[in-house]
Amino acid sequence: MLTTIVILLYICVVLFDFLPSKETRSTKERVIYCILLTVSFCVLILYSLDIKVPGPTEPIRNVIETLFKPSK
Amino acid sequence: MQKEMISARQMFCIIIMFIFGSSVIMGVSSGAAQDSWMSLLLAAVFTVPMLLIYARIIKLFPEKNLFEIIEMLFGKIAGNIIIILMVWYSLHLCALVLRNFSEYIQIVSMPETPQLPIMIAMILVVVYMAKSGIETMGKWSIAMLSAVFLVVIITILFSLNKMDFTNILPFMENDFKSIAAGAFRLYAFPFAETVLFLCLADAMKKKDSPRKLYLYALLFSTVVLLLVILRNLFMMGPGMVGASYFASYVAVKLIDVADFFARIEGFISMNFILAGIIKITVCLMAAAKGTARLFGINNYRKLLLPVSLLAVALSAIVYKNVMEMIDFLRFYTYYAVPFQVIIPLTVWIAAEIRMHKRKLA
């Protein structure tokens, strides 16, 4: 179900945001738009399929714990 | 692209709504039990010098945003590295607030619904708001700030009969170190997060005083957050406040006036949605502006949707559960220092040196 929602969302984004303004965007803008969209799409598809994607919290916590040892 | 400008009053309301953001609902947790209110006041005092620095940066470079200032001061390579760091912070903060929101909705009203659809619904509203521009956001903030403030006042008035004023005693039971640690936590979240307004500073008019704006917003939000802390404390006592994930929601749930006026915790959700939308929008705008600057794109609005979806993706993987979200607060205090203190301080020093050199020349 979640995977369907994600795929539908991205189809809508491409149909209603990317394609209508394609002509007004430069090649650079289009490339950056597509890269950002692809990255988020991959992460969300993996998340919706229950595949563990490493988040930033763990490394941030490890670094801070090593450097500062914050109190509970 | 036509430049967007907003009035001082609109910016004032946006800053206050931004500070309220998740704090009004998370209950401003400092970890200092009944001395939380002292932590809050101390945090406000700690924040003043930093806000003066933010205001000074805006004053030195009127109608320029942080990314333009950084590029001007540090050149292309070093500037881009600092811009990447600030974009990361904006995007990460956007994801964290979005996650606070979805966790809240799931815990209080929709336990069976997955969080992703909630996040998507929220971010679509935020993107619509951001695409409408900062002027629209300013006007909306003016209208909604009164609603948020009214809800806080109403909940305080109706909870008077349930309040136990001895909950605040004994004073200073926690040592000064714990109170200061609580203040440091409240400094990082929510006060110093206003660093993101440097990214929107190009929308402020040259004649408006950023110092007054920042300080009045700090004063107003401190007063309201103090009322929120005291309401929660008087209603539930320090033990329950510390044990609740969403202290304000639990406190307002207890309101019952003459068996007639009860279950008004929906008001609290309304506050969270109204203020949360502003906070996420500001973070998203900052992230989109930074990304656009980084790649030399003139109109940041063209990147709002892909950046917002990146925030949703980050938000989905940022925490495993609500316990991890609450626990991250104590790490966030340290994590935020480079973005809230070190980068603005470096920018300010570099800006002063540049201005001094220009004067000498």
Count the helix, strand and coil residues of chain B and give each as a percent rounded to the nearest 5: 80, 0, 20
pLDDT of residue B81: 96
How large is the ipTM? 0.95
How far apart (Å, rounded) are the C-alpha atoms in residues B61 and B70?
11
pLDDT of residue B27: 58
Nearest to A40 among B291, B306, B324 (CB): B306
Low-confidence spans in chain B with pLDDT less than 70: 1-2, 25-31
Tokens representing B136 are: 């629209």
How far apart (Å, rounded) are the C-alpha atoms in residues B69 and B60?
10
Nearest to B334 among A43, A56, A64 (CB): A64
* CATH of segment(s) B8-321: 1.20.1740.10
Contact between A36 and B303 using a beta-carbon 8 Å cutoff: yes
The alpha carbon torsion through B2, B3, B7, B12 (nearest 10 deg) reads 130
- Give the model confidence (pLDDT) of A4-59 as tens digits: 999 999 999 999 999 988 888 889 999 999 999 999 999 999 999 999 999 999 99
Closest residue in A to B294 (Cα) is A32
| Contact between B164 and B237 (Cβ < 8 Å) | yes
Beta bridge partners of B256: B262
DSSP B254: T
How far apart (Å, rounded) are the C-alpha atoms in residues B51 and B43?
12
Q: A44 CA to chain B: closest CA distance, Å? A: 5
The number of C-alpha atoms within 13 Å of A7 and in the hemisphere containing its C-beta is 5
Contact between A40 and B92 using a beta-carbon 8 Å cutoff: no
Q: Provide CB contacts within 8 A for A42, sequence distance 6+.
A: none
pLDDT of residue B247: 85
Distance of CA B327 to the CA centre of its chain: 18
Report yes or no: A38 at the B interface, CB cutoff 8 Å.
no
Q: Is the dihedral of CA B348, B354, B358, B360 positive or negative?
A: positive
Burial class (CB in 10 A: 0-12, 13-18, 19+), B322: middle
- Pick the residue of B91, B175, B305, B308 with the most A CBs within 10 A to test the interface with A by mutation: B305
Report yes or no: B255 at the A interface, CB cutoff 8 Å.
no
- Chain B residues with beta carbon closer than 8 angstroms to that of A22: none
- Pick the residue of B310, B323, B326, B328 with the most A CBs within 10 A to test the interface with A by mutation: B310
Contact between B313 and A64 using a beta-carbon 8 Å cutoff: no
pLDDT of residue B347: 96
Place of tokens 């929107």: B200
CB atoms within 10 A of CB A49: 10
Q: Is the dihedral of CA B7, B12, B13, B19 positive or negative?
A: positive
Distance of CA B70 to the CA centre of its chain: 23
DSSP B110: -
Tokens representing A16 are: 């209603």
How far apart (Å, rounded) are the C-alpha atoms in residues B18 and B189?
11
Closest residue in B to A60 (Cα) is B335
pLDDT of residue B59: 93
Provide the number of CB pairs (under 8 Å) joining chain A to chain B.
91
Burial class (CB in 10 A: 0-12, 13-18, 19+), B232: buried
Query: In 3D, which of B251, B207, B213 has the Cα closest to residue B229?
Result: B251
Contact between B295 and A32 using a beta-carbon 8 Å cutoff: yes
Nearest to B305 among A17, A39, A41 (CB): A17
Closest residue in A to B178 (Cα) is A71
Contact between B331 and A61 using a beta-carbon 8 Å cutoff: yes
Nearest to B316 among A28, A47, A70 (CB): A47
The alpha carbon torsion through B151, B143, B137, B57 (nearest 10 deg) reads -80
How far apart (Å, rounded) are the C-alpha atoms in residues B199 and B203?
9
* B206-217 per-residue burial string, b: 16 or more CB within 10 A, e: under 16: eebebeebbbeb
Domain boundaries, chain A: 2-68
Domain boundaries, chain B: 8-321
Give the residue with greater pLDDT, A72 vs A60. A60
How far apart (Å, rounded) are the C-alpha atoms in residues B26 and B208?
32
